[in-house]
Homo-oligomer: A and B are copies of this chain.
């Protein structure tokens, strides 16, 4: 399971504050802790509340530079705006890179797909069309197929794409957890080579004990074939379940990483 650390995100108040103040120390310390905890990629979102496009781009540029000053982990460039993604790509150093995210909405898909393709970056694509989030597996997979058809035209392959099966709160519709798990299986079956990734926290919206629901869902999703998760690597209980899931799904060959994490005292036994 690829662990994408979600913490460097301006929707978190203290991160937004650090970006505004250009507080390198706060960001680099957080990144170091995420790395130690086992993040494979660092998601980087500089926020959308800056007054001008130029300022958004500057914030993203500063954030990418700051994270890369302390960590060799590859980044996930997370923005709705093509201009901000482009700004990040300009200064990004390193080979591996993921862009987060696109949907089946064609013009944006072509623009951002083009940026990804030009940089040999991988792409996170939500199983979402122009009309919003379908409540069923069938339409979600159709959106993925549609996205893949467009990406083929600009030279991308399924191996370059992480599809997000979409996660909706069970407090609103209790069938949604199983729909997401079905969608993971269906994507992996119908688009061979493509990978799947998702954030977890939406599943528990409106419920108490959200972290417990989130990590239980992670174990279920791992068994359905989930390749990557966007989560807080500092959540030891969550990370422990991710490591155990890798043992059970055969992704952690000979249980080596699990045993190492155990010896290092990193697991919530």
Q: Which residues of A come within 8 Å of B, CB atoms?
A: 170-171, 174-175, 177-178, 181, 203, 207-209, 211-213, 216-217, 219-220, 222-224, 240-241, 244-245, 247-250, 253-255, 258-259, 262, 267-269
Contacts and interface: CB of A to CB of B under 8 A. Distances in A.
B262 A209 contact: yes
A213 B220 CA distance: 13
A150 B29 CA distance: 65
Given A174-B253, A177-B250, A178-B248, 15 more contacts: A170-B248, A170-B255, A174-B250, A175-B250, A181-B223, A203-B248, A207-B258, A208-B259, A209-B244, A211-B269, A212-B269, A213-B244, A213-B248, A216-B244, A217-B244
6 contacts: A178-B249, A209-B262, A212-B267, A213-B244, A216-B244, A216-B245
- Residue of A171, A181, A220, A268 ringed by the most chain B CB atoms within 10 A: A220
A247 B213 contact: yes
- Residue of A209, A216, A217, A241 ringed by the most chain B CB atoms within 10 A: A216
A244 B170 contact: no
A208 B262 contact: yes
Nearest to A209: B269
Contacts of A224: 223
A248 B177 contact: yes
A144 B239 CA distance: 36
Contacts of A177: 247-250
A132 B254 CA distance: 25
A151 to B, nearest CB: 30
Contacts of A255: 170-171, 174, 207
A247 B170 contact: yes
Contacts of A241: 212, 216, 219
B244 A212 contact: yes
Contact of A247 (B174, B223, B249): B174
Contacts of A216: 219, 241, 244-245, 248
Contact of A267 (B209, B247, B254): B209
